[in-house]
Amino acid sequence: MADAGVPVHVLRKIAGHGSLSTTQRYLHPDAQSINAAGDALSTHLKDRRSPGGPRLRVV
């Protein structure tokens, strides 16, 4: 259900766990999810790099 996108706090209620950490103990991401997360991080880091290096940005 977690791989299908059901939020972990909803899974906790469904499983009847009193603690979120108990539910998280049973979650095991599949290889596809791990690869997708790595790809997303790589894209994020690549997009945020400036060609000339870091620059100060005033907001």
Domains of the chain: which residue ranges?
A: 8-48
Residue 12's pLDDT is what? 96
Residue-wise pLDDT for 3-13, tens only, equals 888 999 999 99
Q: How many CA atoms lie within 13 A of 36 on its CB side?
A: 6
Rounded alpha-carbon distances, angstroms, from residue 20 to 1, 3, 24, 26, 54: 15, 17, 6, 10, 39
Rounded mean pLDDT of 39-49?
83
User: In the structure, what pLDDT confidence band is assigned to residue 51 with cuts at 50, 70 and 90?
Assistant: low
pLDDT at 49 > cutoff 70: no
Residues 12 and 20 sit within 8 Å (Cβ to Cβ): yes
Residue 58's pLDDT is what? 73
Residues 19 and 8 sit within 8 Å (Cβ to Cβ): no
